[in-house]
Amino acid sequence: MTQPIPQARFADGTEVPALGLGTWHMGESRKDSAAEVRALQAGIECGMTLIDTAEMYADGGAESVTGEAIRGRRDEVFLVSKVLPSNASHKGTVAACEASLRRLGTDRIDLYLLHWPGRHPLRETVAAFEELRGAGKIVRWGVSNFDTLAMRQLSAVPGGGNCAANQVLYNLSTRGIEFDLMPWMQELTMPLMAYSPLDEGRLMRHPGLGKMAGQLGVTPAQLALAFLLGRDNAIAIPKSSSPDRVAENRASADIDLSGEQLAELDRMFPPPRSREPLQMI
Ligand code: NDP
């Protein structure tokens, strides 16, 4: 039986599926783009209606593929895109957002992120985000690859308290954020977007995970995603260019891990015991 996808929630009360679609490496080759569009559409059709993209991916190519996939059905999806830190001056952020909107073929981005901390002062980027929000070009904004200290510094910037989300590397092999960043964000009802939830595919080759998945009658990808779906207010965004794998990933929502199974995962992939530096790709 297909279970509904759990929801994550923003501080403004908006709910989104906790299982979405990544797009990194899409749009890199013209010959693959039709298949990529089909994979994204397969995801939308089975309820994975949150799509994560960025101006950086294939120099805008992934946004163009996303635009193609959502054409005629914009209102069904929750669109996330990102500005490159090198573009994140006040003027540069506004220009980058407008270029992303053109490639996406839409008038608004639901969540617009600063891709990682960079050289432009945060107060400039935040001022541009707030201006874009006022103009209705973005609905809310957030950041990516920010550790707890950077999040606190952001809160101190004028308007910084309006940050709606933080997208970070999080999967079974990389659990450091569970120590401090995740609880801090949960306290603020700020969704944590888990990027590379399959460790870029490496988790599928983990012998212990493979063995446990086999015993449960699921795939390693499904087990890795089910773990993330069990976390409070985390959004996993696996990328796949294959409709079959998208369907496989969707079915991770049907898995309810018991306390004993979660403990087995903790033995294989120990949670952090102290603060760890934020890892990023
Ligand atoms: P993922 O952990 O999502 O892994 C993607 C890889 O796993 C691809 O090679 C894909 O291949 C494969 N895969 C997907 N599903 C399955 C499956 N069921 N069985 C076997 N293999 C599978 O890595 P990403 O780095 O792509 O992360 C996801 C998304 O997060 C990105 O696409 C991007 O949107 C975002 N991201 C954000 C970053 C940031 O700095 N903010 C950094 C990195 C990622 P195939 O396509 O052939 O199925």
Q: How do residues 147-198 score in pLDDT, each as one tens digit?
A: 999 999 999 999 999 999 999 999 999 999 999 999 999 999 999 999 999 9
CB 280 within 8 A of CB 171: no
> What percent of the chain stands above pLDDT 90?
99
Q: Checking DSSP bridges between strand 111-114 and strand 78-83, what pairing results, if any?
A: parallel
Using a cut of 0.95, tell me whether the model's pTM lies above it: yes
What's the rounded Cα separation, in Å, for the pair 94 and 139?
14
Q: What is the pLDDT of residues 37-47, one digit of tens each?
A: 999 999 999 99
Residues carrying an active site annotation: 57
The set of residues, in sequence order, having a beta carbon less than 8 Å from that of 42 and lying 6+ positions away, is: 243, 246, 247
Q: What is the pLDDT of residues 36-76, one digit of tens each?
A: 999 999 999 999 999 999 999 999 999 999 999 999 999 99
Q: Mind listing the domains of the chain with CATH numbers?
A: 16-268 (3.20.20.100)
Please work out whether the CB of residue 199 comes within 6 Å of at least one atom of ligand 1. yes
For a mutational test of ligand 1's pocket, the pick from 196, 241, 244, 248, i.e. the residue with the most ligand atoms closer than 8 A to its C-beta, is 196
Q: What is the CA(200)–ligand 1 centre distance, in A? A: 5
Going through 4-133 in order, the beta strands assigned E by DSSP cover 7-9, 15-17, 50-52, 78-83, 111-114
Q: What is the pLDDT of residues 97-142, one digit of tens each?
A: 999 999 999 999 999 999 999 999 999 999 999 999 999 999 999 9
ipTM greater than 0.90, yes or no?
A: yes
- Mean predicted confidence (pLDDT) in 234-245: 98
Would the pLDDT of 1 be above 80?
A: no
Point out the ligand 1 atom lying closest to the alpha carbon of residue 195.
Answer: 30
Atom 37 of ligand 1, residue of closest alpha carbon: 195
* Element containing residue 168 per DSSP (H, E): strand 166-169
Tokens of 106: 């839409």
Please work out whether the CB of residue 173 comes within 6 Å of at least one atom of ligand 1. no
The set of residues, in sequence order, having a beta carbon less than 8 Å from that of 69 and lying 6+ positions away, is: 36, 37, 40, 41, 44, 51
Q: Measuring CA to CA, which residue among 173, 167, 160, 169 is closest to residue 129? A: 160
Long-range Cβ contact pairs of 241-244 (< 8 A, separation 24 or more): 241/25, 241/26, 241/32, 241/35, 241/36, 241/39, 242/35, 242/39, 243/38, 243/39, 243/42
Would the pLDDT of 2 be above 90?
A: no
pLDDT of residue 281: 94
Mean pLDDT in the chain?
Answer: 98
Strand partners, 52: 80
Please work out whether the CB of residue 198 comes within 6 Å of at least one atom of ligand 1. yes
pLDDT of residue 212: 98
**Three-state SS for 232?**
coil
